[in-house]
Every structure is written in C-alpha cells, then in structure tokens.
C-alpha cells in the first residue's frame, strides 16, 4: 500500500536524523534574549525540547549572572548548517563577536552534541568540551537526556552529573515563564 510505504519511510527518516543538543545562554536582557532565541530555534527546527532554565554566575569574567538551558531537536541538517543557523540567530539578537572570548552576551547558542558523532575541525569540536567542565551545561543536558551517553567518555549524562564536583559552580534552577 502506497500510504503505508510513505508512512514507514517517514518513520525511518525521522529516526535516522541526529538528535542535536544546543546550550543557550544570556546575561544581557536575559529573559527577553532567551525567550527570543528559543522562539527562533522553534521556528527553524521541529520538536524542540527544553530543559529547565538555570541561573549561574559568569564564568571567566566579571559580569552579570547568566540564564542557561539546553534545547534538543532532531534535524537532517548537516552539522555545518546547524552551526551556521545558530550563528545567524545569535547575530539577529545582537551578538557581537569582537573582543574577548569570555564576555557579556545577549545570546549564546553552542552546539553541544550532534547525534553521537565526534567531529573535530579547525573551528569546532563536537561534543563540546564544556559539557564536562561546566554545571550550567551538564545539569540541563542531564535533565533532557539523562540516558544519553557522552560519545567520548562512554557514560550517561545522568551519571556524569551525579559525579560532577558541584562545590565550585553555583547553579540555581529558576521559575521561567515562557
């Protein structure tokens, strides 16, 4: 039956798409910036899942606290297309790429994971090393993908979060109204 074949093909295609995880952060006009960035991601990609929103102190510089969360979605876009899309959304929301690496920003969208692939180029590494270093990345990732396995270390995000040294990084879940 043609309808059954098309349905089956669609199901196969959806399950073959890599699940992408993106870290979202802002410490300039945080609520508006996070809300607008997530709206743009939802417009660009279907089935966007969200972690809770967390507040964390700025890391690497003196500045206002950040709002952070992790979003997840399936896509058939190539990794380069996803990265370009994230940069475009950041730019639309006033992201400035001049100056120091660690600085205040309206919107920061970081590709954390692209399926279970390990990708290293001159410009990026996936999975992003911040997953293992920062509570504001690992906790929301463990929330949306507790059973997901880090492709380089082979442990689930829930286990990695359980083992994470939480003493030096203060992270506060907040009530965020979408």
CATH number, domain containing residue 36? 3.30.70.560
CA distances from 56 to 40, 67, 104, 128, 159 (A): 23, 7, 13, 19, 21
Q: Please give the pLDDT value at position 93.
A: 83
Helix (H) or strand (E) segment spanning residue 171: strand 171-174
- Asked whether residue 85 is assigned to any structural domain, the reply reads yes
Contacts of 17 (CB under 8 A, 6+ apart): 74, 75, 76
The neighbouring-strand residues paired with 70 are 23
Distance from C-alpha of 178 to C-alpha of 173, rounded to nearest angstrom: 15
Please give the Cα distance from 83 to 152 (Å, whole number).
20
In a domain, 67, yes or no: yes
For the CA atoms of 46, 47, 52, 57, the dihedral, rounded to the nearest 10 degrees, stands at: -30
pLDDT of residue 7: 38
Residue 122 lies in a domain: yes
**What is the total count of domains within the chain?**
1
Rounded CA separation 123/100 (Å): 17
**Average pLDDT per block of 10 residues along the chain, 178 residues long:** 39 70 96 97 97 91 90 97 96 69 78 97 95 97 98 98 93 93
Flag whether 113 is in a domain.
yes
What is the pLDDT, as a whole number, of residue 96? 65
pTM of the predicted model, to two decimals? Answer: 0.87
Structure tokens at 136: 């504001």
The answer to whether residue 71 sits within a structural domain is yes
Instruction: Please give the residue range of the domain that contains residue 91.
Output: 15-126
Bridge partners of 74, per DSSP, are: 19
| pLDDT for the residue 3 | 43
- β-pair partners for 171: 56
Q: Is 163 a domain residue? A: no
Residue 166 located in a structural domain:
no
Residue 2 confidence (pLDDT)? 41
């Amino acid at each position: 039956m043609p309808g059954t074949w098309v349905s089956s093909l669609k199901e196969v295609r959806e399950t073959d798409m890599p699940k992408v995880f993106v870290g979202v952060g802002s410490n300039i006009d945080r609520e508006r910036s996070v809300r607008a960035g997530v709206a743009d991601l939802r417009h660009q990609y279907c089935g966007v899942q969200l972690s809770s929103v967390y507040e964390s102190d700025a890391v690497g510089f003196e500045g206002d606290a950040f709002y952070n969360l992790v979003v997840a979605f399936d896509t058939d876009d190539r990794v380069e297309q996803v990265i370009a899309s994230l940069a475009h959304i950041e730019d639309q929301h006033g992201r400035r790429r001049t100056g120091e690496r660690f600085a205040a920003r309206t919107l920061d969208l970081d590709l954390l994971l692209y399926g279970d692939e390990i990708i290293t180029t001159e410009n990026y590494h996936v999975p992003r090393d911040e997953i293992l270093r920062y509570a504001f990345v690992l906790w929301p990732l463990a929330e949306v993908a507790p059973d997901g396995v880090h492709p380089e270390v082979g442990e689930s995000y829930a286990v990695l979060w359980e083992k994470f040294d939480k003493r030096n990084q203060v992270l506060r879940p907040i009530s965020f109204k979408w």
